[in-house]
Amino acid sequence: MGAVELFFVAVGLSMDAFAVSVCKGLGMKRMNIRNALTISLFFGGFQALMPCVGWFLGTRFQKYIVRYDHWIAFLMLVYIGGKMIKDSVCDGGREVVVGRTVDLKELLVLSVATSIDALAVGITLAFLNINILFSAAMIGAVTFFLSFSGVFAGVKFGSRFDRKSEIIGGVILVFIGFRILFEHLFGLG
């Protein structure tokens, strides 16, 4: 696998992180560089870390990881998305605070949920004898860039829809969770 193919793998792996970053940006009234960098570092960092973990786990645990990875991602994304929808409906009158910090616990769960596929890719990369450090760095860098761009796009889009944007973000997360589940269960995608 060459650098071009690896780049496309990195883009494919980062699409869920990009979509979630858009959702996080939807909750911001204005672009907050600190929050965008935090979100991007979490997603990029986990997308870089998980292939390394997969690489080191190798084939020993592959059958267990592949059997349950989609369920874990599904449950995490549906939980966070449902929580976003519930919070925006139950507390619909609250103002979105421009300078608020991101919820690091929530961001940790989202980072793990969106990077589980990267774990499986790391296992695959071990079979192909590919340099894992270069691969992980590329996957992390691409995800960082796309996540930052996603937050920016979410802010631009979300400012037009104000309070409804958090509901839209929650629905998107739930949709991504179901998409991951259906892709793995029914071979869709």
Which one-letter amino acid corresponds to residue 24?
Answer: K
Question: Residue ranges of the alpha helices (H) in 58-161?
Answer: 62-90, 104-127, 132-161
Per residue in 70-109, pLDDT tens? Answer: 787 777 778 777 876 776 676 544 444 344 567 888 899 8
Amino acid type, 103: D
Express each pLDDT in 127-161 by its tens digit.
677 789 999 999 999 999 999 999 999 888 766 65
Higher pLDDT, 189 or 95: 189
Choose among 37, 36, 65, 35: nearest CA to 50: 65
- For residue 61, pLDDT beyond 60: yes
Q: What are phi and psi of 163, to 5 degrees?
A: -70, -25
Ordered by start, the domain boundaries in the chain are 3-186
